[in-house]
Amino acid sequence: AQKVTQAQTEISVVEKEDVTLDCVYETRDTTYYLFWYKQPPSGELVFLIRRNSFDEQNEISGRYSWNFQKSTSSFNFTITASQVVDSAVYFCALAPGSNTGKLIFGQGTTLQVKP
Amino acid sequence: DAGVIQSPRHEVTEMGQEVTLRCKPISGHDYLFWYRQTMMRGLELLIYFNNNVPIDDSGMPEDRFSAKMPNASFSTLKIQPSEPRDSAVYFCASSLIGGGFAGELFFGEGSRLTVL
């Protein structure tokens, strides 16, 4: 079965705190892709990152960083020095290796950053 | 280049009425996806097309739902007859995959449907 689990439904932090959003996935495919999307209050879904299953290098982009660990089937997302504008729903997604772009989304984590 | 364009942004209708949602994908993209978002079920893939051909419609809830892609620049999702449980935000997304998995999904702003 293909599945994405985001166990944290809601997280609330104070501005400038670091926060990590957890994502655990299930797949039997050896080739697959993992994604993070952001959905701000305005409602659109914004692409943040794509990772393929053969690339376990961590990635950093500004205040964002991602930790991909195949051994634990996890793809966690950390925001350093959070800001109010980071408040949004964050979705982790899995694309099985069938090369179609079909994404299976987790339930999402609502992040609230308070000033 | 313009992003994925969806219309209408908001639709309020009464149970039993026909609803048509429209999508214009990003020019040159070869895949088009329809997703539905609800509080209870999250983001669900309804159907997707490759080069205008429906590939997988296993997510379409029932026969009341149908989707078409008559050409590379236009797709519709139709619900007939609509029911209150169809109330959701419907997203269209497109992607350029071509010969390999190259692109992420680009989403439209969504169509919020309310069925009374």
Place of tokens 């689990």: A5
Query: Running DSSP on this structure, what letter comes out for residue A53?
Result: T
Q: Model confidence at B102, in pLDDT bands (50, 70, 90)?
A: very low
User: Is B104 in contact with A106 (Cβ distance < 8 A)?
Assistant: no
Between CA A103 and CA A92 the distance in angstroms is 10
Q: Is A70 helix (H, G, I), strand (E, B) or coil?
A: helix
Q: Model confidence at A59, in pLDDT bands (50, 70, 90)?
A: confident
Q: Which residues of chain A lie closer than 8 angstroms to B57, CB-CB?
A: none
Q: Model confidence at A24, in pLDDT bands (50, 70, 90)?
A: very high
Residue A98: its pLDDT value, please?
Answer: 60
Quote the distance between the C-alpha of residue A71 and its chain's center.
17
Contact B90, B9 (CB under 8 A): no
- Number of A to B CB contacts under 8 A, please give it: 55
Q: Which residues of chain B lie closer than 8 angstroms to A50, CB-CB?
A: 104
Q: Is A10 helix (H, G, I), strand (E, B) or coil?
A: strand
Q: Is B90 on the interface with A (CB under 8 A)?
A: no
Between CA A8 and CA A75 the distance in angstroms is 14
Between CA A92 and CA A104 the distance in angstroms is 9
Q: Is B108 on the interface with A (CB under 8 A)?
A: yes
Question: Rounded to the nearest 5°, which phi and psi values hold at B45?
Answer: -80, 125
Chain A residues within 8 Å of chain B (Cβ atoms):
33, 35, 37, 42-47, 50, 52, 91, 95, 99-108
Name which of B45, B91, B109 is nearest A102 (Cβ-Cβ). Answer: B45
Shortest CA gap B26–chain A (Å)? 15
Q: Is the pLDDT of residue A30 over 90?
A: no
Residue B104: its pLDDT value, please?
Answer: 80
The rounded mean pLDDT for chain A is 91
Q: Per-residue pLDDT tens for B38-85?
A: 999 899 999 999 999 999 899 998 899 999 999 999 999 999 999 999
Q: Is B109 on the interface with A (CB under 8 A)?
A: yes
Q: Is B45 on the interface with A (CB under 8 A)?
A: yes
Q: Which residues of chain B lie closer than 8 angstroms to A46, CB-CB?
A: 107
The rounded mean pLDDT for chain B is 92
Identify the H or E element spanning A91.
Answer: strand A88-96
Q: What's the average model confidence in pLDDT over A58-75?
A: 90
Please give the C-alpha separations between residue A109 and each of A12, A67, B15, in angstroms, as whole numbers. Answer: 10, 17, 32
Residue B96: its pLDDT value, please?
Answer: 83
User: Is B93 in contact with A104 (Cβ distance < 8 A)?
Assistant: no
Share of chain B above pLDDT 70, in %: 94
Q: Is B101 on the interface with A (CB under 8 A)?
A: yes
